[in-house]
Structures are given as structure tokens and as C-alpha cells.
Amino acid sequence: MTNTTVEPDEATRLRNDVVEQLLADGTIFSAEIEVAMRKVPRHEFTPNTPLEKAYDPYAAVITKMDEHGVQLSSVSAPQIQAMMLEQAKVRPGMRVLEIGSGGLNAAYLAELVGEEGEVVTVDIDPAVTDRASRLLIEHGYDKVRVVTADAAEPIPGLGEVDVVMVTAGAWDIAPAWISQLKPHGRLVVPLRMRGLTRSIAFTQVSGEHGTYLESESALICGFVPMQGSTAHREELLLVNGTPEIGLRFDDGLPADPHRLDNAVTTPRHEMWTGVTIGLQELLDTLQMTMAIALPGFCIMAVDEDLDTGVVAPSNKRFALAAVEGDSFAYLVTRRTKDNKHVEYGVHALGPKAQHLADKVTDVLRDWEANHRGGPSPIIRVYPASTPDEQITADRVIDKVHSRIALSWPPA
């Protein structure tokens, strides 16, 4: 599997620089993945892209957008690709199904499975698969099987595979992904839960009531959403009927959203929590703590062109928020005196603003005491038909095909 073209020295240097950076930050820790990412010419799979952009360790390359500017296809950042490859634990001789094609990741997988292994890459968009097929053949990866199909359905003639690797943002777990896995196989998928996306490495577990998936790792990521029968859009609630303040819900709107209509007519309640974090501290467990603990968890965004100052989030495009009845609250931050940390605060509006702000503050302090710096919650995937009494969890999220159970590991 060698590249038949002569690469510019600059591309080789940049590719090695990317690998060195990902080794240094701990993203790459397997020699096999290091070798594959040094070998495959990433820039050849991102044509018409400047070398510096193609080899940015932390930036994706967008390859297709719709008429509204919505991203439909991309080549993930090297950091995300390396992270998911490490989660997948692909070994020589394995059979791998990749869902969401582009060519580059399939080339990495082909290097990892070797001559005795097999890679099948699937995408619903024929333009994407045509491009992937052409690039793979051009660069010596002609053994990779490229399929145009909706991967929510079983792939004809595939049989069972050791690893299913999903490289598009998924809201649900399609039953076909599980049915095509060998016993104890591995599913790596960027799964969206309550508006938060994590790249999760699942393994199959046999329990008292049947087989389910259990997470081995869950890492923050972002992905172009999946298309086809498993596509799912968040629902947007415009507070007071105006486009200024939008609350995005991933699993359905509140039972009576009109109860929020008058929330913005009340004075804004503001409080500071005393919970501080470092400027570079990861917030994955904080986000998940709020998503698990608060039934009305959502994401708030403010249209900057229409902003009247009714709300004042630190980030107008993405603020963790929660709704309870006729009130809503969101997180804010401010720099501490040493300018090395930020403190979390809570703003709330509505008749029960103070009560909700107190509740969100309690969640923040629980995170600080019990989950900060600790492991992510354990994520289990059960069939949608699984009854409540067979699931023990801190939060269960019902999807179309599955029930996602989130539980904090024992202290």
C-alpha cells in the first residue's frame, strides 16, 4: 500500500509534524497508529486544500456544503481521527466497517488491518463514495470496498465484523450496527446525547437479560450530523416567540413550552457559585453532570444581531442551560483576580428564577465535589424495548432504536 506519486518534501514534513504534535499531547500512543498516520498522504485526500490547512492537527477540512451553508461532509481533524483509531483498537487481520466515507480514514484502517484484513467503507452520498473510491485506488488502497448505502440498514454480503467505526455524528444507535458486530466486537461512534457529542468506544456485554453495549471510553468531539433514516434534528424553542433567545433541545421540547412566554419580563436573577476552573481545564464531566442531573437541560444561543441584553451569556453561541416550568437558567463565567481561572455563575429568569438558580448551583457544586477530574459516566446502550426494571442508571435517554443509560461510576 504505497503512494505511487512523488510527494513534496513540505507535505512530508508537515505530516510528521502533525504526528509529533499528537504524540506529544497524548492523542497517539500506539506505534501502529503513528506509523499509519506518518505513511498515508493526508493532503492527497483533501484536494484543493492548502497544505497548511490539510495538516492542521486540530481542524477539519470541509468537503461538501448544502445551499444554506450546512456542512454535509468533511475530513475530520487529525486529532479526531487519531483519537478514534486509538479507541477502535484495530489489529492486523480484522474486518472493519466504516460508516461515513471520505477515503482518508479508510486508508488508515487499511494500513492497520494489513493484507489479511478487510475494510468496508459506506456512505449514503454517491458523490462522497465516488470520490473516496477514486482516491483510495489512486493511492494503492484498492482492496478497500466502497459501498453507497444507508448504513442504518445491514450491508448486503458484509457478514460480521470486528469493529464498526462511525465517522458521522449519530443521535441513535442503529440495530444493524450491533447485529453486524462479532461477539465482544467494538463500536466506535460520535454519539449525541442531550445535545452533547462524545466519541464513545463501546464493547458488547452479555448480561442477565441479554446483550447490551457498554462504554470503555467517551471523549469530547464534534462531527457533521448523519444523514438518512437515522438523521435527527434538535428542536428550537424561541423564548417569548422572538428569535433573539433560542433554547435547543435534543430529546423533545418541554411539555408546555408556552409557560416560558413571560420569563423574560421578570428581573434577571444572578448569583456566583464559588466554583472555579483553570482556563485550559476540560469540561466534559461538567457538561455531562448537568445533562444527567437536570431534566430540562438544553443549550442556549443568542442571535447577536437581535441581542437586547435580556440575557448575558459569556458565549452567545453555546451556553449550558436548563428549563423548569416557567423559568430558565444558564451558566456564565468571569475571570478571577489572578486571571488564571474563571468562576461559574448562574443567571435565571422567570417566576421561580431563584429556585432554579439554586438548583443549578447545587449541580455545579456536586460536580466539583464528586466528578471533577474523574472518569466520564458509564454509557450503556439497550434495545428500545428494554423495560425500566432492567436498567439501573442516573439518567435514561430514550431514542428510536435504543435506550441510552448514563451512570456515574462508584466513587
Catalytic residues: 76
To the nearest 10 degrees (0 to 180), the angle between helices 78-88 and 9-24 is: 60
* CA–CA distance, 311 with 309 (Å, rounded to integer): 5
* Residue found under cell 481561572: 341
Cell reading at 336? 478571577
Cell reading at 368? 466539583
* CA–CA distance, 96 with 214 (Å, rounded to integer): 19
Q: Of the candidates 51, 52, 55, which has an alpha carbon nearest to the alpha carbon of residue 20?
A: 55
CA triple 58-320-283, angle to 5 deg:
45
CA triple 28-34-35, angle to 5 deg:
170
* Residue found under cell 467503507: 121
* CA–CA distance, 246 with 226 (Å, rounded to integer): 23
Cell reading at 91? 489489529
Helices (H) and strands (E) in the chain, counts: 9, 19
